[in-house]
Structure 1
């Protein structure tokens, strides 16, 4: 990993706009990713992971809106780029594997043409050259009979096949930054391993930075050097992956790690019960005062209810946002 930050996000705020009111769906989120580094973003559904990724490539749509902060890519601010400039980056220097392969592909176009478009638009290839490269791209993601599958429409493919097509599109132009939102959700275990190896090889070979978004903590531990933990639109902890899983500092991170099943773990009276975090993530329009995790936190005190905690640097590196961090 290079020390240079390819992507730097500073105090990002994303708002949910309801009439004349604005609610902070994502607030003061900051992180950076170096060349060749894989940075993980974890948290429960609804915590703001996916909309953070969409904001990085200018794909936010109403009622969500950019509320403030800076997004720097290769030292250049991109949060306010005109649409034409952002389209030159999107799919070329910055690519995204979307979470929903069933709806992300154009149902009216063969998948081969959708891949070929990337080479025509961003690499100046002819359609004949691009169609040949599309076959190679499908072969790289282990699609069987790729020369035949390029002619198929999305509805002719299974969910796992569509996911592989999405990954082929994202990797086609060998991007500098890859945003991977649950990239292996619809894939079986053996194909998951192959796709992750492909992403790992791309990162190692040309220094591609990867933002890996996942609910799968095992995948994050295996793939990522650093991990950011999000809760209710806030980045509550960011540290080296091994430190997060060895000794979490934020109570929410501790709850996530404690909920992981341990191979061979049993109680004396039979199979042990998995731990869980009580309650649910609050709605964007109903975030509590003070620390947003306080209604679910077993360690809360009066200050947690009254005051929003500041970010604190940790002695072994990283940072945490908690009044009573470990």
Structure 2
């Protein structure tokens, strides 16, 4: 079998604070093949974004990798030097951050920020790099790219800024694109345009995608496989179709059930969305046993006393005492 492009093996991310050490992420393992699309979903605070930052080598104190391996194209990078990580970021791994207004430099024209990728990673001259930056904006369907390369981020709409982020992330044809909530704060029609654009460009360049979102429907439409995180752990991983058709963990089922569906109406004529009761526990107050047990509708005594083991599900997995 072909080796995966990215392999995350038993990753633990620690958080130091108040004289104590906490596990923000535990036992996280997944693989992404070349040109494949993999989704990581869950509520805010479950550990998705810091897992992505660990892959990028962007964790900063008080966060750090406690143990585990991150293997990119056969190279272990969890302990790579800062210089090596700078070489990899942009050339081998690109990332679309959650909020482009804070990720982009407000004091630099967007064209120069794209051109910088070609100068740093492909030794292009600034003149050549600016020409290529204009082409990059054209590829992400920014109108009048010859004018927009001189604009600053605040002069662009949210959708335009997100297109600039995609242009920067894909400028040097990376092997892996990490998209962290790439449609946050965008209206529905612009969201659809951005997702279609990402999928089209990545397919053309053969780029693998790690899609991070709290929106299970969005991820399932784009990704072949999906992993569901809760309180720092992957609680279920299956093919995208199976996640919708036969969710095996109560948390996954709650996420699926909370999605709005066309045609469903209550007796009063309005659709009432289902919800998962309670909130994600604090990292300093994870419950004993299964971490989902205070919110789980199927909880029993064993759920409160013992953490569930990983159970194989064909080509997936689940962490639940009652997954049957």
| TM-score (structure 2 length as normaliser) | 0.96
The corresponding residue for 1:23 is: 22
User: Shift in Å at residue 270 of structure 1?
Assistant: 2.6
Deviation at 1:199, TM superposition (A): 2.4
Unmatched segments (≥5 aa) in structure 1: none
1:100-249 aligned at under 5 Å gives the runs 100-249=99-248
Q: Partners of 1:189 and 1:139 in 2: how far apart?
A: 23
Shift of residue 3, structure 1, vs aligned partner: 4.4
Q: Provide the residue aligned with 2:322 in structure 1.
A: 324
Q: 1:50 — aligned with what? A: 49
What is the Cα deviation at residue 74 of structure 1? Answer: 0.8
Return closer, same or farther for 1:187/1:133 CA change in 2, 3 Å cut-off: farther
SS at match of 1:270: coil
Q: Is the 8 A contact 1:141 1:195 kept in 2?
A: no
Classify the secondary structure of the residue corresponding to 1:5. coil
- Which residue does the alignment assign to 1:66? 65
CA separation of 1:165/1:10 partners in 2, compared to 1, >3 Å: closer, same or farther? Answer: same
Q: Which region of structure 1 is more displaced relative to structure 2, 21-30 or 189-198?
A: 189-198
Deviation at residue 293 of structure 1 after TM alignment? 0.5
Q: 1:192 to 1:272 in 2, by over 3 A?
A: closer
1:198 aligned counterpart, secondary structure: helix
CA RMSD of aligned residues (A): 1.4
Match of 2:93 in 1: 94
Deviation at 1:111, TM superposition (A): 1.0
For residues 5-44 of structure 1, the aligned pairs below 5 Å read 5-44=4-43
Q: CA deviation at 1:198?
A: 3.0
Shift of residue 283, structure 1, vs aligned partner:
1.1
CA distance in 2, matches of 1:31, 1:264: 36
Q: Is the CA contact 1:174–1:202 (under 8 Å) kept in the aligned structure 2? A: no
1:144-198 C-alpha deviation (Å, 9 max, x unpaired) = 2111111112222222222221111001111100000111224444443333233
Q: Give the CA deviation at 1:93.
A: 0.6
Runs of 4+ in 1 over 4 A off after TM superposition: none
Deviations 1:244-265 (A, max 9, x none): 0001000000000011111010
Q: Deviations over 1:32-64 (max 9, x none)?
A: 000111000110000010110000011011221
Q: Which residue of 2 aligns with 1:300?
A: 299
CA contact (8 A) 1:160 1:186 kept: no
Q: Aligned equivalents of 2:178 and 2:201: distance in 1?
A: 13
> Aligned partners of 2:2, 2:251: CA distance in 1, in Å?
29
CA distance in 2 between partners of 1:292 and 1:189 (Å): 33
Q: Which residue of 1 aligns with 2:309?
A: 310
SS at 1:271 equivalent: coil
